[in-house]
């Protein structure tokens, strides 16, 4: 059974952006357009309104979204039920995380999981952790690792793994800049500091709020996808960045940056697993979820 058209539709219904959908699903924008047009032809009705500025679901598209979600869930459930082989779980789980998370957490997670469930294959995708919840909501991934947002979206289950400080970092090659910014934050000191920040996500939200409290807008030098790229650009002297402590703990460039002791500090965030609540009863996700619940305090 080819479920790809439904997966593409659900991703587009979540992002409402053809370009972002193509990146999340690793296909070209034209392939996304063709798949949606084919669905609309088969159904005999438009699923999306499109113009040069925006994409939105039609009323029929909203109804089809409910069907597509249920159809994919039912397909996964029946496929696993029919694959019961001497009560040994087998199948495939898709897992999404950042590069940092892949070498910070996955070895411990997967080594015991693979030992207990050798027939379950893991399909790993890496990318910007800010997209973790979005990819789970869209049905693109079964499970994702990321930072817990201040407000969990409806229908999302979260299991904590660790907490990480959120840090301002400066180039080690510019000690005068670091000295000027250390201590109690003052608007004048930060007014023209070039900032290298995430395009989106919790770290960006908290940094923007921190600058608003100073009655400043950050002077953006670059907006990047992924924390590793922020460390790289800061180490080269392009500006000041904000990254989680766990990124620095595993970065080969940690010796080329300096952590700023700034007050007020940014609030730490909680890193953990995301999946859809309604899928927790599925055998493969249940096995993975309970394995981590047993191994995490």
Torsion of CA 290, 94, 2, 70, to 10 degrees: 40
Give tens-digit pLDDT for 212-259: 999 999 999 999 988 889 999 999 999 999 999 988 988 899 999 999
> Which residue's structure tokens are 């904590």?
160
Confidence of residue 297 (pLDDT cuts 50, 70, 90): low
pLDDT at 26: 85
| Position 85 pLDDT exceeds 60 | no
**274 to 16, 145, 212, 215, 280: CA distances (angstroms):** 22, 6, 30, 35, 10
pTM of the model: 0.65
Instruction: List the domains of the chain with CATH numbers.
Output: 1-82 (1.10.10.10), 164-268 (3.40.190.10)
Give tens-digit pLDDT for 201-210: 889 999 999 9
Give tens-digit pLDDT for 130-143: 889 999 998 889 99
Give tens-digit pLDDT for 174-209: 999 999 999 999 999 999 999 999 988 889 999 999
pLDDT, mean over the chain: 89
Give the Cα separation of 200 and 197 in Å (integer). Answer: 8
229 Rama sector, left if φ>0, alpha if ψ -120 to 50, beta otherwise = alpha
**What letters, b where the CB count within 10 A reaches 16 and e where it falls short, cover 173-204?**
eeeebbeebbeebeeeebeebbbbbbeebbbb
Give the Cα separation of 43 and 62 in Å (integer). Answer: 13
Q: Is the peptide bond before 264 cis (omega within 30 degrees of 0)?
A: yes
More confident residue, 111 or 5: 5
Residues 160 and 148: beta-carbon distance below 8 Å:
yes
pLDDT at 256: 95
């Amino acid at each position: 059974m080819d479920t790809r058209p439904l997966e593409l539709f659900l991703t587009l219904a979540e992002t409402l952006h053809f370009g972002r959908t193509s990146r999340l699903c690793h296909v070209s924008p034209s392939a996304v357009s063709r798949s949606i047009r084919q669905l609309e032809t088969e159904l005999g009705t438009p699923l999306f309104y499109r113009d040069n500025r925006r994409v939105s679901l039609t009323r029929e598209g909203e109804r089809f979204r409910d069907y597509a979600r249920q159809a994919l869930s039912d397909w996964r459930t029946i496929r696993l039920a029919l694959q019961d082989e001497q009560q040994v779980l087998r199948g495939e789980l898709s897992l999404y995380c950042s590069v940092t998370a892949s070498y910070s957490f996955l070895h411990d997670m997967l080594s015991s999981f693979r030992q207990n469930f050798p027939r379950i294959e893991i399909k790993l995708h890496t990318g910007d952790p800010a997209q973790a919840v979005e990819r789970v909501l869209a049905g693109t991934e079964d499970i994702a690792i990321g930072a817990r947002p201040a407000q969990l979206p409806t229908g999302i289950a979260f299991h904590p793994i660790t907490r990480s400080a959120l840090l301002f970092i400066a180039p080690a090659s510019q000690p005068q800049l670091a000295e000027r910014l250390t201590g109690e934050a003052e608007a004048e000191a930060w007014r023209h500091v070039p900032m290298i920040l995430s395009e989106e996500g919790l770290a960006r939200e908290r940094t923007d709020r921190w600058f608003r409290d100073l009655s400043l807008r950050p002077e953006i030098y670059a907006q990047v996808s992924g924390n590793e790229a922020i460390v790289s650009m800061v180490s080269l002297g392009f500006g000041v960045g904000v990254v989680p402590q766990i990124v620095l703990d595993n970065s080969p460039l940690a010796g080329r940056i300096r952590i700023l002791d700034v007050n007020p500090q940014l609030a730490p965030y909680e890193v953990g697993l995301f999946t859809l609540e309604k899928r927790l009863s599925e055998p493969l996700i249940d096995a993975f979820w309970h394995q981590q619940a047993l191994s995490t305090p």
